[in-house]
């Protein structure tokens, strides 16, 4: 079996080399991707991408497979960057933050320290471009990540933030297999179906593990069975005769149980420690009391069934076969969508009756369209400024007493001070103040973040509409249907930031994060955590002083009020500063995106004019040469299909 795989691998590499040479010959940026396919196949690299809507438990599922909390998990969207987990030896884990315009940042530590650093990346303490990684690489001694396997965590595909969803969709072309996480508590929606059809099946991805998460929230067996059957029926209606295996799991139960049962090194704990840890977990989450202990919780989670199937696939011959098929199909897709179409449109113009003078006149007319596109930059930037100004006026409280619940928070803290002993307050009051701060600011913060997302999404739609209109208008003027490579905001921002990675071929090549959109990964814990900590330190010091001096409760209440006012004022000021930062970065991102698109249109027109400026005989020769290249590219595509059919990897016809 190994001999067969090695033979097929060599044949696949030969075909990919031919595609690479063809890409170089026609000057296609897709050649960078083909080189990556070849490198991954040579090194037996295999990428498993975990996708699903936000809050469906993707990060928790990966943590459950690992057996400890490595990836940050919050009830709000926290995964805002791509996180690749690769195999690494040793007790320590490593994290490398890959940045757009500076050297990578390397960090070593245990799982908790890695998680904290990832949390910093994902919540963006500073939204300056230089401080935002576009990908995080983690090494971890996870057995089934051996032999070149990478497990990849992604932002939610149906995140309200269009940019975070775009990051995931942009990374999917790199996938060799997909784990699609579904939520047992939510029906398989139309959006789930659309994502499955367009972003997974539409990309030719056939290696799909379907995981139905959160089965612990459906404790009645018949209800769970019904939910599993409904999901299976829906998947069959979409995939037809394609084999489907649905894995019901509770990632949360599995993670809690494994954390109790095993140490970070994978060594089973002593029974006394297991029991102690389980009891502590039950105190934090009363729902765990339904289970007699860690072993029952682990069995109920069904994680071992899924993990066994995943490990069997990743260590077996099927994975090796899928790796070859995946790389070849991606190369075929690049040929069909990115390499051949530009050649075809050049032939179309060369063979048309349009004279050079007519073409020049039409190109001159298109300048009006390009000028309008350029003007859109100024108009959209102006729109951003107006919307952000309105956002600041309407949502950020001008006065502290205008914050809903501020007076109630003060009353609550006053009662708390009256009801507790001063010595006890020295330890219990700071976290209580932190709690009240969260209650105060979380609604305000949520509205501001919703406002950020609305402004950003509206800006994205305006930019995309402006580009579509310009391309359509220019195509009509020139008489050739222009095929401008699709560019996302993330990929457009790379040259602006000095990024030197691969080119753009029909979508995102790598998922660099636009600094403006990355700011939307901010979470309540990021904004309020430092403020609460500051309040806690201030109160801790001041309480010790007041108690030692035997001050009255009235003075203590005054001290608490003063600290609360100070922290809230800082929160408001910080929110205003970051709103301004977001406005500036979004404006920069918009300018970069529209400039890249404008340059793409002008480059295409320049090439078309150069073709048409040739003499009649030269044009005929050029058209013939281009047709031969098109035929060569189509032949390569047919050769890929023939190989896959002969190996039984795709059906004939």
- Cα–Cα distance, 611 to 626 (Å, whole number): 11
Residue with tokens 């001050």: 551
- Closest to 102 (Cα-Cα) out of 132, 126, 130, 135: 130
- Closest to 33 (Cα-Cα) out of 334, 339, 322: 334
- Confidence check: pLDDT of 493 > 60: no
Q: With pLDDT > 70 as the criterion, what percentage of the chain qualifies? A: 79
- Closest to 505 (Cα-Cα) out of 19, 13, 16, 32: 32
Torsion of CA 592, 593, 599, 605, to 10 degrees: -170
Residue 566 has a CB neighbour count (10 Å cut-off) of 14
> pLDDT tens, 153-179?
988 775 545 556 667 777 888 899 999
> pLDDT tens, 262-274?
876 677 888 888 8
Domain ranges for the chain, please list them. 364-483+523-612
pLDDT value of residue 63 = 92
- Confidence check: pLDDT of 535 > 50: no
Per-residue 3-state assignment (H helix, E strand, C coil) for 461-514: HHHHHHHHHHHHHHHHHHCCCCCCCCCCHHHHHHHHCCCCCCCCCCCCCCCCCC
Give mean pLDDT, residues 215-228: 85
pLDDT value of residue 509 = 19
Distance of CA 54 to the CA centre of its chain: 10
Give mean pLDDT, residues 56-69: 91
Q: How confident is the model at residue 540 (pLDDT cuts 50, 70, 90)?
A: low
- Closest to 529 (Cα-Cα) out of 450, 435, 449: 435
Domain 364-483+523-612 has CATH 1.20.120: yes
More confident residue, 525 or 586: 586
- Confidence check: pLDDT of 1 > 90: no
Q: What's the pTM value of the predicted model, to 2 decimals?
A: 0.70
Q: How confident is the model at residue 370 (pLDDT cuts 50, 70, 90)?
A: low
Task: List the structure tokens of 347.
Answer: 């032939």
Give mean pLDDT, residues 547-568: 73
pLDDT value of residue 180 = 94
- Cross-strand pairs, 210: 180, 246
- Confidence check: pLDDT of 633 > 50: yes
> pLDDT tens, 451-469?
776 777 777 777 778 777 7
Give mean pLDDT, residues 531-555: 55
Task: List the structure tokens of 12.
Answer: 């696949």
Give mean pLDDT, residues 13-34: 92
Q: With pLDDT > 90 as the criterion, what percentage of the chain qualifies? A: 19
- Closest to 142 (Cα-Cα) out of 219, 89, 213: 89
Give mean pLDDT, residues 485-495: 47
- Confidence check: pLDDT of 66 > 80: yes
Give mean pLDDT, residues 483-506: 38
> pLDDT tens, 297-332?
999 999 999 999 999 998 888 888 888 988 998 899
Q: Rg of the chain over CA atoms, in angstroms?
A: 29
């Amino acid at each position: 079996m190994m001999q067969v795989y090695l033979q097929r691998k060599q044949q696949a590499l030969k075909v990919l080399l031919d595609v690479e040479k063809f890409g170089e010959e026609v000057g296609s940026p897709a050649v960078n991707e083909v080189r990556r396919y070849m490198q991954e196949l040579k090194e037996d690299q295999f990428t498993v991408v975990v996708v699903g809507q936000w809050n469906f438990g993707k990060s928790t599922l990966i943590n459950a497979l690992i057996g400890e909390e490595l990836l940050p998990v919050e009830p709000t969207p926290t995964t805002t960057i791509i996180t690749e987990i690769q195999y690494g030896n040793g007790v320590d884990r490593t994290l490398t933050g890959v940045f757009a315009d500076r050297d990578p940042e390397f960090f070593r530590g245990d799982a908790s320290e890695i998680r904290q650093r990832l949390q910093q990346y994902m919540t963006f303490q500073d939204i300056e471009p230089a401080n935002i990684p576009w990908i995080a690489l983690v090494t971890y001694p996870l057995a089934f990540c051996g032999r070149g396997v990478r497990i990849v965590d992604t932002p939610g595909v149906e995140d309200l933030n269009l940019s975070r969803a775009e990051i995931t969709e942009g990374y999917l072309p790199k996938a060799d297999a997909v784990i699609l996480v579904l939520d047992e508590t939510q029906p398989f929606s139309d959006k789930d179906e659309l994502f499955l059809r367009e972003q997974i099946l539409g990309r030719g991805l056939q290696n799909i593990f379907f995981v139905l998460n959160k089965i612990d929230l459906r404790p009645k067996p018949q209800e769970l069975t019904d939910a599993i059957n409904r999901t299976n029926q829906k998947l069959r209606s979409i995939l037809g005769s394609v084999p489907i295996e649905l894995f019901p799991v509770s990632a949360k139960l599995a993670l809690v149980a494994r954390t109790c049962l095993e140490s970070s090194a994978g060594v089973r704990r002593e029974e006394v420690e297991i029991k102690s840890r389980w009891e502590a977990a039950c105190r934090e989450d009363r729902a765990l009391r339904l289970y007699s202990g860690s072993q029952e919780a682990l069995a109920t989670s069904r994680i071992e069934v899924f993990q066994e199937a995943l490990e069997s696939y990743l260590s077996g011959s099927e994975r090796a076969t899928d790796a070859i098929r995946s790389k070849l199909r991606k190369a075929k897709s690049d040929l069909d969508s990115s390499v051949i179409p530009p050649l075809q449109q050049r032939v179309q113009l060369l063979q048309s009756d349009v004279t050079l003078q007519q073409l020049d006149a039409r190109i001159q007319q298109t300048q009006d369209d390009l000028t309008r596109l350029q003007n859109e930059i100024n108009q959209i930037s102006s729109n951003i400024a107006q919307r952000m100004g309105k956002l600041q006026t309407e949502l950020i409280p001008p006065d502290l007493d205008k914050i809903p619940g501020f007076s109630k928070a003060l009353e609550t803290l006053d009662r708390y001070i009256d009801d507790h002993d001063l010595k006890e307050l020295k330890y219990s009051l700071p976290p209580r103040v932190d709690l009240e701060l969260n209650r105060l600011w979380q609604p305000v913060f949520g509205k501001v973040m919703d406002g950020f997302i609305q402004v950003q999404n509206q800006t994205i739609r305006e930019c995309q509409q402006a580009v579509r209109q310009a391309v359509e208008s220019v195509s009509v003027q020139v008489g050739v249907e222009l095929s401008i490579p699709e560019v996302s905001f993330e990929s457009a921002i790379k040259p602006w930031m000095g990024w030197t990675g691969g080119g753009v071929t029909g979508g995102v090549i790598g998922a660099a994060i636009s600094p403006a959109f990355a700011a939307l990964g901010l979470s309540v814990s990021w904004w309020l955590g430092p403020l609460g900590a500051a309040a806690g330190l201030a109160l801790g010091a001041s309480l010790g002083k007041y108690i030692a001096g035997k001050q009255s409760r009235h003075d203590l209440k005054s001290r608490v009020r003063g600290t609360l006012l100070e922290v809230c004022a800082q929160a408001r000021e910080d929110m205003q500063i970051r709103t301004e930062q977001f406005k500036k970065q979004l404006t920069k991102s918009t300018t970069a995106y529209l400039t890249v698109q404008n340059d793409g249109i002008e480059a295409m027109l320049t090439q078309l004019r150069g073709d048409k400026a040739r003499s009649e005989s030269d044009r005929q020769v050029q058209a013939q040469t281009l047709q031969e290249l098109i035929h060569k590219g189509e032949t390569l595509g047919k050769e890929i299909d023939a190989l896959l059919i002969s190996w039984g990897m795709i059906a004939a016809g």
